[in-house]
Structure 1
Amino acid sequence: MHFSPGKNAMQRLAQFDVTRQFLTRQGQFGAQITFGVLCSAAMISLRSVFDLWAPTSGPFALIYPTLLLVTLYGHWQAGMTAFAVTFFWAWYFVLPETRGFQFIDPADPPRVALNAACCLIVVIFAEAFRRAARRTVDEIQTAADRRLILLADLEHRTKNNFALVASMLEMQKRSASDPLIHEHLNDAAGRVRTFADAYSELALEQSETIEVDTKLFMDNLLDRLENAALPRNVRFFREVDPCKLPRETAAALGLYMNEAISNAIKYAFPEGRSGMIGVYFHVRDGGWRLTIEDDGLGLDSKGQNEKGLGSKLMEAFAMQAGAVHWAGPAMVGFKAELVCENISEQHAAL
C-alpha cells in the first residue's frame, strides 16, 4: 500500500508508545513516570513563557492538552504523574495567591475542584480511547498475519498444482504418437511451468508483503529465463526501473513477460539465427510501461500474426495488471507492450 511521507509520519506517531521497548513491568513503569515528568516540564516551560504576557490568567488551561497527549502515549500512569505535577504547580505558582495554596477569590476553591475533576476525566477517557485503539490495531494485525499465512499457503498449493498439471501433460505427451499433439502439449506444459515460476518467485522473494519490489522480481525472473530457456544464439538486454506494485499486478507482469519472451524465443530466431530480446520496464509520470521487443523475423515469423492462445493470454494478463496491451511490428522485429497510466489506482485497490 502506498502512503505519502506525511501519512507515514502520522502513522508512526499514532503507534508511538513509551513502554514498547521495555520488557519488564518495572522498566515500563519507570518509562511512564519519566515521560509524565518530562512532558510536565515542557508544559511548565511553555506556561512560564506565556506568563511574561499574561500572568495568572487561565492557570489550568495548558494542563488539558498535556494530559491528553501524555495519557495517549504513556498510559494512565504517565497521565496521573503529569496531572499531579502540572496541576499543583499551576495552583501554587499561577493561581492567585501565587507561591502559595491560599485563595484570594472566594470562587477559586470550587473552580480548582472543578478543574481537578475535569483533568481526571480527560485522563480516564484518554486511557479508555488508547486501550480501544490498541485492541483495534492488534485485531487488524492479527487478521493481516492470518491473511499472509493463508496467502502463502495458497501460493504454495498453487505452485504444486501447476507442477502436477505439467507432469500430467508430460505423461499425456509420452502416450501420444502424433507430432502435432506433442507440439501442443509441449506448449501447454511450458505455459504451466511459466505460471509456476512466476508464483514461485513471488512466494520466495515477497512472502511477507502485499507489495512487490518489481525490479527484484523481474530481474530474478529474467535470470531464471536466461539460464533455463534462452538459446546460445540469443541475448537479453534489460532496463528495469525500481517500483513497488501490488502482488497481483506483479504476478500478471511476470506472466505477460514470460509469454512474450517465450514467443520471441520460439518464433523470432529460427534455424540458429542470432539476435537480441530487449526487456524494458520504465516508470514515468505516475504510470509504468513494460516493453518486450526482438530483432528477429517480426510478423513474418510463424504464429506472431495470428490471434492465437498466446495473444489471448497476454490480453488476459494485461487485464489482470490493469493495463493496456499492444503487439505489433517494431522498426526491426516484433514488439509487445503493456502500459499502465496510473500506479496510484493499483495501490488504492489494495
Structure 2
Amino acid sequence: MSTSLMARLGELDLPDRLAPAVPRWATQVAVALLCAAGVEIVRAGVNAIVPGSAAFALVFPAIMVATLFARWQAGLLTATISICYTLFIIYLPAAATRTVVNPHLAVFAVGIAALLTIALAETFRRAVNRATRERDSEIADRDLMLTEFEHRVKNNFAIVAGMLDIQRRRTGDPAAAEALGAAMMRVDSIARAHRHLYRDGQGSEVNVRDYLEDLCGALSDALLLRGGVTLDCDADAATIQRDHAVSIGLVLNELVTNAAKHAFEGRERGSIHVSWKRRDDGWRLTVADDGVGMPPGKKPARRDGGLGQRLIEAFAKQAGGTLSTVSDANGTQVTMDLPD
C-alpha cells in the first residue's frame, strides 16, 4: 500500500465524520462487524482455491483497516471477533482431526501480533490526523494573511488613483488632465488584475475571461462610451500568470483608449470589439474598431503622439506577445499573439 493511500486512509476518521448523526461507538461497532465479515468472505474464497490455508492470516489486514477508519476501539473489536470466530469455528475443529500447534500458544501469538498491528495503525492514524490539523491551520493562517494583504493592496491602489484624480481635477492644463486620466485607468487595470487574482483563488493565476470582461466594462464607463459608440468583449476561458494578465490588461487599456479617442473623429456612431481567443499555438488578443482608419503613410497605432504606442510595445514584450496592425478606411484592427 503506497504512502499517499495510507495517508488518505488515515485522514478518513469515520466516527468524527458521521457524528453527531451517528454515535461514535455505533460507527466503530459497525466498522468492526463489516471488517470481520469481510475476513470470513475473503477466507471462504481463499479456501475454495487453497483449502486449509493459514487460518489467522487474513485477520491482520482487517484489523489495520478498522483501526485506520474507526480508531483503535474498532480494531480491537475486529480482532476479538475474528480471532474468536477463527479459533472456535475453524482452528479447534481442525485440531481435533489432525495434529496442529498448541491452540493456546497460537492464540497468544496471534493476539500479540494483533495488538502490535492495532498500535502501529493507531499511531499512524494519529500522526496523519495531527499533520492534517497542522496543515489546515497553516492554510487558514495563509488565507488570513492573503486577505489582509489583498485589503492593503486594494487600499494602496485606491490611494494612488485618488491622488491622480485630485491632481487631474486641480490642473488647468487639458493635456495634463488627459495624461493623469490615462494614468488613472492604467492603475485601475492593474488593480483589477490583482482583485481577480485573489477573488478567483487560483494562487498566482488570473481568470482572463472574467478579468477582460470586467476591464472592458470599466473602460466603457470611464471613456463615456454611450449609445453611438459601443464596446463589447468576447473572451474564451483561460487562466494565466498574474504578471502576464496585468500586461495584457494594460495593452487592452491602451488600445481601447486610443480607439475611443481617435477612431471616430467626425462620427457619432461606431463600435469597438475586443476578443480573446484560443489558437493552435497560443492565444490572440484582438482590438478592432470600425472607425475612420489610419491616414495613409502614417505608422499604425501612433494615434497619441507615440507614448501610447511605446507603452503598448513595452507591455506586449513583457507579456511575450507579438503585435500586428491592419488599418484601412473600414477601421483598424490590432492583434497580439501570445504563445502557450
TM-score over 0.5 (shorter chain): yes
SS of structure 2 residue aligned to 1:150: helix
> What does the per-residue CA deviation read over 1:78-100, in whole Å, with 9 as the maximum and x for residues that have no partner?
111211111222222332534x8
Amino acid at match of 1:335: V
TM-score by length of 2: 0.79
SS of structure 2 residue aligned to 1:61: coil
2:311 aligns to what?
309
Aligned pairs (5 A) from 1:127-206: 127-203=122-198, 205-206=199-200
- Offset of 1:197 from its aligned partner? 3.1
Q: Which runs of 5+ in 2 are unaligned?
A: 295-299
In the alignment, the residues of structure 1 paired with residue 96 and residue 241 of structure 2 have an alpha-carbon distance, to the nearest angstrom, of 63
Pairs aligned (count)? 323
Match 1:52 to one of 45, 48, 69 = 48
2:77 aligns to what?
81
Are positions 1:326 and 2:328 aligned together?
Answer: no
Change (3 A) 1:339 1:238: same
Change (3 A) 1:271 1:224: same
- Offset of 1:174 from its aligned partner? 3.7
Change (3 A) 1:239 1:67: farther
Are positions 1:293 and 2:287 aligned together?
Answer: yes
Change (3 A) 1:337 1:110: farther
- Between 1:223-232 and 1:162-171, the stretch displaced more is 223-232
> What does the per-residue CA deviation read over 1:235-254, in whole Å, with 9 as the maximum and x for residues that have no partner?
34443333455667666655
Amino acid at match of 2:314: K
> What does the per-residue CA deviation read over 1:29-67, in whole Å, with 9 as the maximum and x for residues that have no partner?
211221121122122111112112223311111122222
In the alignment, the residues of structure 2 paired with residue 259 and residue 334 of structure 1 have an alpha-carbon distance, to the nearest angstrom, of 13
Q: Which has the higher contact order (CA 8 A, sep 6+)?
A: 1
Aligned pairs (5 A) from 1:114-133: 114-133=109-128
In the alignment, the residues of structure 1 paired with residue 326 and residue 6 of structure 2 have an alpha-carbon distance, to the nearest angstrom, of 48
Question: How large is the RMSD of aligned CA atoms in angstroms?
Answer: 3.6
Amino acid at match of 1:157: R
Structure number, greater radius of gyration: 2
In the alignment, the residues of structure 1 paired with residue 168 and residue 232 of structure 2 have an alpha-carbon distance, to the nearest angstrom, of 34
- Offset of 1:144 from its aligned partner? 1.1
In the alignment, the residues of structure 1 paired with residue 248 and residue 20 of structure 2 have an alpha-carbon distance, to the nearest angstrom, of 48
TM-score by length of 1: 0.77
In the alignment, the residues of structure 2 paired with residue 162 and residue 27 of structure 1 have an alpha-carbon distance, to the nearest angstrom, of 53
SS of structure 2 residue aligned to 1:158: helix
